[in-house]
């Protein structure tokens, strides 16, 4: 199995390290040439969604990545990755990858609560999962019955799945807990 990790910006190395610790081969995607390699799944890391979006556009990756996800390539987006997958932001259409039927709110927790840790259950995947939030978004609402809510923190949706798309508002790659990555790999 080979997993592509979008490496335009953000915490992509941590995802690679976690996958490699699970014995999964990874490669970084920065340009179209990288993208042309065979891949069984894609990871979109946390970071800054506006920067990643700009780089997706200028690199020419936006359209092929979107098409691949729509055709069923399994994808796991964390934090900024969740934002890039979302179809709406604050009730308005987003210009991102727009493959996931959710409405997000960005930088949801204000300045003082910019970063925090919580522990929560991820339905059917993990109990007492450590969640690291860094200027995180949350999911305001789901836009399709196909979207399954996997986790809530403080009454806010923070993890969802829709078909082969998995997205979390928190950063599982920044903890030592590999259960979500393990789950993602198993579904691939």
Catalytic residues: 79, 171, 173
118 binds ligand GLN (CB under 6 A): no
Reading phi first (left if > 0) and then psi (alpha if -120 to 50, else beta), residue 17 is in alpha
Size of the site for ligand GLN (CB under 6 A): 12
Instruction: Figure out which of the listed residues 18, 24, 62, 83 binds ligand GLN, where binding follows CB under 6 A.
Output: 83
The residue among 17 and 51 lying less far from ligand GLN, judged by its C-beta, is 51
List the one residue from 13, 22, 98, 134 that touches ligand GLN (CB under 6 A): 134
Min. distance of Cβ 33 from ligand GLN in angstroms?
26
The residue (of 19 and 80) whose beta carbon lies closer to ligand GLN is: 80
Question: Which of 47, 74, 96, 172 lies at the binding interface for ligand GLN (CB under 6 A)?
Answer: 47
Check binding of 48 to ligand GLN (CB under 6 A): yes
Structure tokens at 116: 């925090």
- Say how many C-beta atoms besides its own lie within 10 A of residue 116's C-beta: 14
Q: In terms of CB distance, is 25 or 90 closer to ligand GLN?
A: 90
Q: What is the number of other CB atoms lying within 10 angstroms of the CB of residue 40?
A: 14
What is the CB neighbour count within 10 angstroms for residue 109? 19
Cβ–Cβ under 8 Å, residues 22 and 15? no
Instruction: Tell me the C-alpha distance between 155 and 8, whole Å.
Output: 32
Q: Structure tokens of 138?
A: 């949350």
Considering only residues 8, 44, 46, 101, which one is a binding residue for ligand GLN as defined by CB under 6 A? Answer: 46
Task: Indicate whether 107 belongs to the interface with ligand GLN (CB under 6 A).
Answer: yes
The set of residues, in sequence order, having a beta carbon less than 8 Å from that of 19 and lying 6+ positions away, is 3, 5, 26, 43, 181, 185
- What are the residues binding ligand GLN (CB under 6 A)? 46-49, 79-80, 83, 106-107, 134-136
């Amino acid at each position: 199995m080979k997993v592509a990790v979008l490496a335009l910006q953000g915490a992509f190395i941590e995802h690679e390290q976690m996958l490699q610790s699970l014995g999964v081969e990874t490669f970084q995607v920065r340009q179209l040439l990288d993208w042309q390699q065979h891949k069984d799944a894609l990871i979109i890391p946390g970071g800054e969604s506006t920067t990643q979006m700009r780089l997706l556009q200028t690199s020419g990756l936006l359209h092929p990545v979107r098409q691949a996800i729509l055709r069923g390539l399994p994808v796991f987006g964390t934090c900024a990755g969740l934002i890039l997958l979302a179809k709406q932001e604050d009730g308005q259409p987003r210009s991102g990858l727009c493959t996931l039927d959710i409405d997000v709110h960005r930088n949801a927790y204000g300045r003082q609560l910019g970063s925090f840790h919580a522990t929560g259950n991820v339905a059917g995947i993990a109990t007492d999962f450590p969640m690291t939030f860094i200027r995180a978004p949350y999911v305001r609402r789901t836009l399709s019955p196909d979207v399954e809510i996997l986790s809530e923190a403080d009454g806010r949706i923070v993890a969802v799945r829709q078909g082969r798309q998995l997205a979390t508002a928190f950063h599982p790659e920044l903890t030592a807990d590999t259960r979500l990555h393990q789950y993602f790999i198993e579904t691939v």
